[in-house]
Structures are given as C-alpha cells and as structure tokens.
Amino acid sequence: MIGRGALNVPNLSRVIKYNEPRMPWPQVVELLKKYTRLEKQGDTGLYHVARIKQWLSYLRKEYDEALVVFNEIRTLKTSADIAVAIARY
C-alpha cells in the first residue's frame, strides 16, 4: 500500500521514481507546521487534532525524531496547542 507508506515518508513517490533519499526531518517538520494551519472550517477541532497525531504516529516508523514530537503532543487537545509545540522543532 503506497498510500500509508506516503504517510511514513512524505516524498515516497520521488523515492520510488527517482531513487531519491527520504525527505529530511527538518522538511517533514515544515510540512507538519503547514498542516497545522490548514484546520478545516466547521470542524469541532477533534478531527484535525486526531489527524495530526495519526500522521505523527505513522512518521514514527521512519523518523525517530517523530517519537519525541508525538510524545509531546499526544495529550494536547487543540490544534493551536499542537501548532505551538511543533513550532519549537
């Protein structure tokens, strides 16, 4: 399944097609920061928070650094709090 693999390695298509190395962790963090700003209108906040945590859970399979971030945000309840935590990386 390439779909879930792309959650583990955001540039998976380029890794497969062009034999590029996986995306460096600082670039992954930038993607996470962008995603935290894309909160869906009308969302109660729970969906977006859950998706960020889920993505970090997938990232932990390829990036050891993701475990540190995940452990920091796993108890947070709002997108704003998660965005602040991720901004520190």
CATH number at residue 70: 1.20.225.30
Cβ(19)–Cβ(12) below 8 Å: no
pTM above 0.75, yes or no: yes
How many domains are contained in the chain? 1
- pLDDT tens digit string along 41-60? 667 778 889 999 999 999 99
> Binning pLDDT at 50, 70 and 90, where does residue 2 land?
low
Distances (CA, A) of 68 to 42, 44, 46, 59, 65: 30, 26, 22, 11, 5
77 within some domain: yes
Q: Which residue's structure tokens are 């709002």?
A: 78
71: tokens are 């452990």
Boundaries of domain holding 73: 23-87
16 within some domain: no
